[in-house]
Amino acid sequence: MQKRRLGKSDLEVSAMGLGCMGMSFGYGPAVDREQGIALIRAAVEKGVTFFDTAEVYGPYTNEELVGEALAPFREQVAIATKFGFELDANGKQAGMNSRPEHIKQVAEASLKRLKVDAIDLFYQHRVDPNVPIEDVAGAVKDLIREGKVKHFGLSEAGVQTVRRAHAVQPVTALQSEYSLWWRKPEGEMLPTLQELGIGFVAFSPLGKGFLTGKIDETTSFAKDDFRNIVPRFTAEARKANQAMVDLLNKVAARKKATPAQIALAWLLAQKPWIVPIPGTTKLHRLGENLGAAELVLTTEDLQELTDAASNITVQGARYPDTLEKTTGR
Diameter of the chain by CA atoms? Answer: 54
Q: What is the pLDDT of residue 212?
A: 98
**Whole-number Å distance between alpha carbons of 217 and 215:** 7
Tell me, yes or no, if 57 is annotated catalytic: yes
Computed over every residue of the chain, the mean pLDDT equals 97
Q: What is the pLDDT of residue 90?
A: 86
**Whole-number Å distance between alpha carbons of 80 and 119:** 7
91 has pLDDT over 90: no
Sign of CA dihedral 22, 143, 68, 15: positive
**Whole-number Å distance between alpha carbons of 119 and 170:** 16
Question: Which range has the worst mean pLDDT, 57-61, 66-70, 86-90, 295-299?
Answer: 86-90
**For residue 225, what is the DSSP state?**
B
Tell me how far the alpha carbon of residue 328 is from its chain's centroid.
15
57, 123, 178, 319: which one is catalytic?
A: 57
| Tens-place pLDDT, residues 138-152 | 999 999 999 999 999
54 has pLDDT over 90: yes
Tell me how far the alpha carbon of residue 178 is from its chain's centroid.
9
Q: Is the pTM of this model over 0.95?
A: yes
| Tens-place pLDDT, residues 241-293 | 999 999 999 999 999 999 999 999 999 999 999 999 999 999 999 999 999 99
Q: What is the pLDDT of residue 109?
A: 98
Q: What is the pLDDT of residue 245?
A: 98
Domains in the chain, CATH or no CATH each: 3-324 (3.20.20.100)
Q: What is the pLDDT of residue 40?
A: 98
| Tens-place pLDDT, residues 107-147 | 999 999 999 999 999 999 999 999 999 999 999 999 999 99
Q: Is the peptide bond before 278 cis (omega within 30 degrees of 0)?
A: no
**For residue 197, what is the DSSP state?**
T
Asked whether the beta carbons of 250 and 169 are under 8 A apart, the reply is no
Q: Which residues contact 313 (CB under 8 A, 6 or more apart)?
A: none
**For residue 279, what is the DSSP state?**
B
